[in-house]
């Protein structure tokens, strides 16, 4: 097994998403070398694993009456041939429920940042000292104060020596929010507020800017960052059935993406992308100047791309399922060769696979029902192994028998998904699994 660092000139982003559960019922370089094997949707600034992943870390929402009821990081052994292959080998509760959701690894992959959307707490785990046994080393409980009012820390995206945290809300609990930078070990650096019509901060088309945030990812060789938009605390912490039956609440969802001058951290262009554009996935190819996103409420795949005149555009390029049935696309995952896009939709529990060799004309080539509900998908760098988790948000997950909570692992041969193993997170008394990250002991051998 080999592992390697690869500073990649091209790159992409990460994978995740989420949204409703009752929606339907209610109605709404210099880079040197390629590294083979690792999840494909990570920051290009991050060290890459060049062999098979050894562990999958899962940030899991605590669930009342299930185990200790607390949010926790669950470590699963995925080493082929290991006597504990496909088993939970470590559980680290953080105490209490914080609406565990997203997070990410630092650029050196030594630290795993995870956060709570409810109380804005951030937990930093050391995964380098013993990759099979992550250890909580720091808790940040003054994120709102330090950031100047950003609420709902979402992803933690690796920048050189720093993490970039996209917020979802603010102290008014509405959706205008910002991007917040910290050092790898948890020292606050700076806040960059999303542009709004009132405060465009130099962005073109800013009269359309809504200020919402969700994901933010960088294409370094073009010096651009692309951010997307979701909704504020008032919506994401509210039972979904209430939200979708409240016309005013339904107006409070994002419908824009923003292209930034990354070096200067200045917003430069606002795109109208109606229906809540969530995950941002830059293509990896050295000349592939485009990114995909999916829109949760309008069920579309959107392409944000640069034309030959170096102008940037956003357009819908495919429909996901039947939008009238509100399949609710959530996480997407782009293969390392930019040829295949996996799209999960929460409500129908489906994963759909698109041939995106022509990014302007994706074609669906496969679909499979993963469970009664599905949210996140992560794939290995070689595209042969995929992992799925089930939970969206505590108040948006399905109920009763449809509230399946699982990690399911598959192999992918380019034609179909074959089961590898699965873990029932309710039977194991763990909770609602959400974000996944891969780890390997071979990263730390200097």
Question: Which residues bind to another protein, rule: CB under 8 A?
Answer: 2-7, 9, 29-33, 45, 47, 106-110, 159-162, 181, 183-184, 187, 189-190, 220-224, 261, 263-266, 268, 306, 310, 312, 442-446
Torsion of CA 82, 83, 88, 90, to 10 degrees: -80
The least CB distance from residue 145 to another protein, in Å, is 17
Give the nearest distance from C-beta 43 to another protein in angstroms.
10
Q: Which CB atom, from 311 or from 415, has the smaller least distance to another protein?
A: 311
CB of 45 to another protein, least distance (A): 6
User: Using CA atoms, how far apart are residues 204 and 260, in angstroms rounded to an integer?
Assistant: 11
Structure tokens at 254: 């994002």
Please identify, using beta-carbon distances, which residue of 198 and 263 lies nearer to another protein.
Answer: 263
Instruction: Report the distance separating Cα 409 and Cα 421, nearest Å.
Output: 5
Of 131, 26, 102, whose CA–CA distance to 442 is shortest?
131
- CA–CA dist 146, 383 (Å, integer): 39
Please, which residues bridge with residue 139 across strands?
A: 123
For the bound state, the minimum distance from the C-beta of residue 360 to another protein, rounded and expressed in Å, comes to 19
- Residue 137 or 190 having the CB closest to another protein: 190
Q: For another protein, give the closer residue by CB, 96 or 186.
A: 186
Q: At closest approach, how far in Å is the CB of 109 from another protein?
A: 7
Paired residues of 424 in beta bridges: 406
CB of 85 to another protein, least distance (A): 22
Nearer to another protein, 114 or 259 (CB): 259
Q: Are 385 and 379 in contact (CB under 8 A)?
A: yes
Kindly state the tokens that stand for 135. 């250890």
Least CB distance to another protein at residue 345 (A): 32
Measuring CA to CA, how many Å separate 21 from each of 39, 164, 228, 434? Answer: 26, 29, 21, 14
By beta-carbon proximity to another protein, the closer residue of 287 and 415 is 287
Q: Which residues contact 427 (CB under 8 A, 6 or more apart)?
A: none
Cβ proximity to another protein, 193 vs 412, nearer residue: 193
């Amino acid at each position: 097994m080999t592992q390697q660092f690869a500073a990649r000139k091209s790159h992409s982003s990460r994978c995740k998403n989420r949204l409703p559960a009752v929606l339907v019922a209610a109605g709404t370089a210099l880079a040197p070398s390629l590294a083979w094997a690792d999840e494909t949707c990570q920051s290009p600034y991050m060290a890459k694993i060049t062999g098979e992943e050894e562990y999958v870390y899962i940030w899991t929402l605590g669930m009342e009456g299930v185990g200790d009821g607390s949010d926790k990081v669950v470590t699963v052994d995925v080493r082929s041939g290991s006597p504990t292959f496909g088993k939970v080998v470590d559980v680290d509760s953080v105490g209490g429920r914080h609406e565990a959701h997203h997070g990410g690894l630092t650029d050196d992959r030594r630290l795993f940042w995870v956060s709570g959307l409810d109380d804005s707490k951030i937990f930093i785990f050391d995964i380098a000292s013993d990759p099979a046994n992550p250890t909580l080393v720091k808790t940040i409980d003054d994120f709102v104060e330090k950031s100047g009012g950003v609420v709902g820390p979402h992803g933690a995206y690796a920048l050189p020596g720093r993490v970039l945290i996209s917020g979802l809300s603010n102290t008014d609990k509405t959706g205008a929010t910002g991007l917040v930078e910290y050092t790898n070990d948890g020292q606050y650096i700076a806040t960059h507020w999303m542009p709004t019509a009132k405060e465009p901060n130099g962005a073109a088309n800013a009269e359309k800017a809504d200020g919402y945030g969700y994901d933010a990812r960088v294409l370094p060789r073009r010096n651009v960052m692309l951010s997307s938009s979701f909704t504020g605390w008032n919506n994401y912490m509210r039972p979904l059935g209430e939200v979708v039956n409240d016309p005013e609440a339904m107006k409070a969802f994002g419908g824009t993406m923003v292209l930034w001058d990354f070096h200067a951290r200045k917003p430069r262009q606002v795109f109208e992308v109606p229906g809540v554009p969530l995950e941002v996935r830059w293509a990896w190819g050295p000349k592939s100047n485009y990114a995909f996103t999916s829109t949760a409420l309008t069920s579309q795949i959107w392409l944000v791309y640069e034309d030959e005149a170096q102008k940037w555009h956003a357009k819908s390029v495919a429909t996901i399922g039947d939008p009238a049935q509100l399949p609710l696309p959530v996480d997407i995952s782009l293969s390392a060769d930019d040829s295949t896009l996996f799209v999960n939709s929460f409500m129908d529990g489906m994963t759909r696979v698109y041939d995106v060799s022509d990014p302007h004309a994706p074609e669906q080539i496969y679909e499979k029902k993963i469970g009664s509900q599905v949210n996140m998908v992560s794939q290995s760098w070689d595209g042969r192994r995929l992992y799925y988790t089930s939970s969206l948000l505590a108040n948006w997950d399905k109920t009763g028998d449809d509230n399946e909570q699982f990690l399911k692992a598959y192999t992918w041969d380019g034609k179909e998904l074959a089961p590898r193993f699965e873990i029932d997170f309710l039977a194991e008394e763990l909770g609602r699994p959400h974000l996944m990250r891969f780890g390997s002991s071979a990263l730390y051998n200097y």
